[in-house]
Amino acid sequence: MKTPQLLNYACDSWLAGEGDLAQLPSAIDGSPVAMTGSGGLDFAAMLDHARDVGGPALRKMTFHERARLLKALGLAVMARKEELYELSYSTGATRKDGWIDIEGGAGTLFSFSSKGRRELPDGHVLLDGQLETLSRNGTFMGQHIFTSLQGAAVHINAFNFPVWGMLEKLAPTLLAGVPAIVKPASATAYLTEAAFRIMIESGLLPPGSVQLIVGHVGDLFDHLSCQDIVSFTGSAATAMKLQTHPVIARESVRFVAERDSLNASVLGPDAGPGTPEFDLFVKEVATEMTVKAGQKCTAIRRAMAPAEHLDALEKALGERLASTRVGDPRSEDTRMGALVSLAQRDDVRARIAELEAAGARIVAGDPAADPPVEGGAFLPPVLLRTDDPWSTEAVHDVEPFGPVSTIMPYKDLGDAIALANRGRGSLCLSLFTHDGATAREFVLGAGAYHGRMLVIDRTNAAESTGHGSPLPVLTHGGPGRAGGGEEMGGVRGVKHYMQRTAIQSSPAMIGAIAGAFYISGAPKHEIDVHPFRKPMSKLNVGDTLKTGSRTVTLGDIEHFAHFTGDNFYAHMDEEAARASPIFEGRVAHGYLILSFAAGLFVDPAPGPVLANTGLENLRFLTPLYPGDSMRVELTVRSKSLKGEDTGVVRWAVEIFNQKDDIVAAYDLLTENIP
């Protein structure tokens, strides 16, 4: 049977690469899986298509519309996941490895979809921080905003997670309203192409919003502009080559680099053999070495233990690794599959030899072991040990991208911190300790060198997501050697694909720019129908209810104090209140003011407002004295969808006294019928 050729997707057409094609072999037995190449593509035209067609279409959609698109894409991938699992075996991955890649990828789309609908406005502009007062009378203000970049995102991905690697970058990019050109690593491009094809065939994506290159990127970099962004995942050597491209420097093209990383895991001084933390540590190191055959940028490469526990660690880890069944990933009793290719296996063997030459010795596993399947890229887990981690640079520098880790001793916590930081920046570090003081000292000493840190003990291990799992809601990336990049992290990840601009103008003008967000101080639209009587779709940002006023008496204050038990001096002791540097006498309770405010603005009948779900940014600004009166202005600040059947309205609540001084201000959140 002829080996199938992967297709590029350029300018909304599937195109076969011309000229020389590369053959992609199966990791299991070396048999050909696909041919690939991108010769003949017009890379400049692809960038133009993304900028001229994809970008405008995506930017026309609101954050919420794009968030719903992500969810639909995730569902489309899930509906055809078995096709992907079948291909995934050829990459050497077991079903469990494939689950992280395929369902983890779809899960990332779902997570960003949910974040987008809950945390972003149903509009096009994202506000950044609070309004800054720039003038005495408040007519001239400052507000930072984010708008979508108007170029293309070029995603260059590593081979190890062909589906997740694509989707974890696409999710924030599309949510930001930016089109993408995806270039997967060739070794596993057949799996990326299949997942990409599913998304195209779903018919959900606007034209020009995504394109695919299965092969080299030609002269693409020569045509990048200041509105484009390159997000690269792979080796330090390739990152360096791409990051120093003259166009990247000349045009200040954003360049996100996720590179290799000598991640460490540390057994705390309190966590000797016999403690739950010791057992958890052994389990975690073994898991990180064997999941995905250790081909994870976050895998534990350096395992550190107090010197007196290193022998016990070597024994326990060695026993655990010996029971790892390495074999054909399609077989159900296989715990660890193959590396991605023979070339990758040979590279890992060479890195092990480098570590040995630098003084580390193998204490478990044989790198030269016969493969369980002829022609397959198999390698058993290999554990190395060094007893003098300060005398060799290699254990902190050489990354064998496979099932390999080195154990090493430390003298005291300061020594462990210094050793962990000797990796010169990592994606993640885990510390196994049941002692809060140890955790604090470690994090203060090492935080600056690591992008993510897990502190694991007996109380959280069962629910821990694990050392090596990047999560959509948390930042993935690390300083220094790890590339200095940041991805995901919820809405933070979306902002990498947007431009922050400081706007200076009147509140009304800033409100007009923000669109779907009421800026305090901007004009309000007073409405006749009570806003609690309107479904969310009929409410407009800026709609305002102005209530009547009520007087707050001393009797009210005393009644409230007796009723609630809140007899704080400021409300109940005239002399003490006068003596305070803040009050001129007894004042109304803040909680009483809030309760009276609700009494003034609430419309009692059931629906469309279903429930009060919280207050945010509450400030009491002017004391309210007995005899003062209060009134409320309730304004729709923003609206967002929570699920299919409910929405959230954010109301700006401002409480004024009889002199129109602002007594209190806060945001009220209600759950509403959409």
Which residues are the active-site residues? 258, 297
DSSP state of 54: I
Q: Which run of H or E residues covers position 373?
A: none
The CA-atom distances, in angstroms, between 273 and each of 280, 305, 354, 404, 434 are: 11, 11, 31, 23, 13
Residue (of 646, 672, 656, 647) closest to 533 by Cα position:
672
The CA-atom distances, in angstroms, between 641 and each of 67, 70, 517, 671 are: 11, 15, 14, 9
Q: Could you count the other beta carbons within 10 Å of the beta carbon of residue 150?
A: 17
Query: In the complex, what is the shortest distance from the CB of residue 218 to ligand NAP, in angstroms, rounded to a whole number?
Result: 9
Choice between 427 and 570, CB closer to ligand NAP = 427
In the list 50, 125, 149, 158, the residue contacting ligand NAP (rule: CB under 6 A) is 158
Query: In the complex, what is the shortest distance from the CB of residue 132 to ligand NAP, in angstroms, rounded to a whole number?
Result: 36
Query: In the complex, what is the shortest distance from the CB of residue 326 to ligand NAP, in angstroms, rounded to a whole number?
Result: 21
Q: Is 87 one of the binding residues for ligand NAP (CB under 6 A)?
A: no
Separation of alpha carbons 522 and 652, rounded Å:
12
Binding letters toward ligand NAP, positions 256-275, x by CB under 6 A:
--xxx---------------
Query: In the complex, what is the shortest distance from the CB of residue 189 to ligand NAP, in angstroms, rounded to a whole number?
Result: 7
Determine contact, residues 452/275, Cβ cutoff 8 Å.
Answer: no
In the list 8, 111, 160, 544, the residue contacting ligand NAP (rule: CB under 6 A) is 160
Q: Is 559 one of the binding residues for ligand NAP (CB under 6 A)?
A: no
Separation of alpha carbons 216 and 233, rounded Å:
15
User: Considering CB under 6 A, how many residues would be counted as binding ligand NAP?
Assistant: 26
- Kindly give, in sequence order, each residue whose CB lies less than 8 Å from that of residue 80, ignoring residues fewer than 6 positions away: 198
Residue (of 663, 416, 411) closest to 549 by Cα position:
663
Q: Is 654 one of the binding residues for ligand NAP (CB under 6 A)?
A: no
In the list 88, 143, 186, 265, the residue contacting ligand NAP (rule: CB under 6 A) is 186
Separation of alpha carbons 203 and 183, rounded Å:
21
Residues forming a β-bridge with 406: 302, 384
Q: Is 297 one of the binding residues for ligand NAP (CB under 6 A)?
A: yes
The CA-atom distances, in angstroms, between 288 and each of 272, 404, 673 are: 20, 9, 46
Separation of alpha carbons 312 and 347, rounded Å:
30
The residue assigned the tokens 């420097």 is: 249
| Amino acid in position 354 | E
Query: In the complex, what is the shortest distance from the CB of residue 348 to ligand NAP, in angstroms, rounded to a whole number?
Result: 11
Instruction: Name the one range near ligand NAP by CB under 6 A: 157-165, 315-323, 431-439, 649-657.
Output: 157-165
In the list 60, 241, 440, 559, the residue contacting ligand NAP (rule: CB under 6 A) is 241
In the list 235, 540, 549, 646, the residue contacting ligand NAP (rule: CB under 6 A) is 235
Query: In the complex, what is the shortest distance from the CB of residue 278 to ligand NAP, in angstroms, rounded to a whole number?
Result: 28
Instruction: Name the one range near ligand NAP by CB under 6 A: 117-125, 156-164, 246-254, 350-358.
Output: 156-164
Q: Is 238 one of the binding residues for ligand NAP (CB under 6 A)?
A: yes
Binding letters toward ligand NAP, positions 480-519, x by CB under 6 A:
--xx------------------------------------
Note the residues at the interface with ligand NAP (CB under 6 A): 156-160, 183-187, 217, 233-235, 238, 241-242, 258-260, 297, 399, 401, 427, 482-483
